[in-house]
Homo-oligomer: A and B are copies of this chain.
Amino acid sequence: MAVEGSAPGKVILFGEHSVVYRGPAIVLAIDRRARVVAEERSDDRIYIDALNLGFSGYFVGDAYHPEQGEAWRGKRLAALNVAARRTMERLGVESGLNLKVRSRIPIAVGLGSSAAISVATVAAIGALLGGNLSKDEICALAYEGEKVIHGTPSGADNNISTYGGILRYERGVGFERFEVERIPPFVIGNSRRKRSTKMMVGNVRALRERNPVTVDGIIDAMGRLSQEGLAALLGSDLPLLGDLMNINHGLLAALGVSSPELDLMVHASRRAGALGAKLTGAGGGGCIIALAETPRLKQVESAIRRARGTPLRVNVSYEGVKTRSVG
């Protein structure tokens, strides 16, 4: 018997970086999903086949044994191993597992691939081993895995991958979910440059230590933009939403987290008729997100391609984590 779990990736619409200090971030689940097929093994290995990402190998306990790809992959895969083991502990079951990972979410560019894979893994194992895990439980178990890689992540990524939809996250306040009836597709522009969230967050922290008043002023402005941006999204005021995205991009650039690749995609999108465009995620590499009226979407995609990015049209997805039996 095998069970497939799947969960959506995400894109940050507003609040990257500022959310580290204060104010909300607005995060959207996207209709690109990670899929993980789980089946039992007779030994105690947790075998991970992520061959479409270029690697496979297995864990015995915490030790990773690569078969394909580099040994350092084990560090990232440790999230899966930990999430899988915590899930089995929760269910009171011990088993070896085959986990086949097939994700359509580009990795390491801020689209939540890692959390989506963890959430899908927990859900698949839960269903495979007969547990009746609630979404809250899936979310919490996936978070255990995320912590192994990211220290103390906000939890926004595993939350959005579990529940889908639109999420408002604020430190010390928590999560709030929203639905919007009509929301156009967004175009993501992927620079295909991996970035380190940790390094970018560190750079902003250093800039803030050198210029506390100025940088705090910018962070406050970004928090207000997040809140106004959510209202514009809920009210389907697309021109306002576009303005706010454009302004937010500049403020992120003021914090030093943009890059030539991102700026070029942002300018190209706007010139092709996008109502707004901004970098999304930690910056330094990764992606931009552009908003355009439907008749303009193709032009925006072409413009991103000419600016050497890879366009990806996404819709907000209200479909959170799911499982299905795959024989």
A residues engaging B (CB < 8 A)?
207, 210-211, 213-215, 217-218, 220-221, 224-225, 228, 239-240, 243-244, 246-256, 258-260, 263-264, 267-268
Partner of A210, one of B210, B218, B243, B259: B243
Copies in the complex: 2
Q: How far is the CB of A275 from the nearest CB of chain B, in Å?
A: 12
Which residues of chain B are within 8 angstroms of A214 by Cβ–Cβ distance?
Answer: 221, 224-225, 228, 244, 247
Q: How far is the CB of A13 from the nearest CB of chain B, in Å?
A: 16
Q: How far is the CB of A111 from the nearest CB of chain B, in Å?
A: 23
- B250 touching A254, Cβ below 8 Å: yes
23 contacts across the A-B interface (CB closer than 8 A): A207-B243, A207-B247, A210-B239, A211-B240, A211-B247, A214-B221, A214-B224, A214-B228, A215-B247, A217-B221, A217-B224, A218-B221, A246-B254, A250-B250, A250-B253, A250-B255, A250-B256, A250-B258, A251-B254, A258-B263, A260-B267, A263-B263, A264-B264
A207 to B243, CA, bound (A): 8
Which residues of chain B are within 8 angstroms of A258 by Cβ–Cβ distance?
Answer: 250, 263
Known contacts A211-B243, A224-B214, A247-B211, A259 near B252 by CB under 8 Å: no
- B249 touching A253, Cβ below 8 Å: yes
Partner of A250, one of B210, B246, B252: B252
Task: State the 4 A-B residue pairs at the shortest beta-carbon distance, nearest first.
Answer: A250-B254, A250-B253, A263-B263, A260-B267
Given contacts A218-B221, A218-B251, A247-B255, 4 further A-B contacts (CB under 8 A): A210-B239, A258-B263, A259-B267, A264-B264
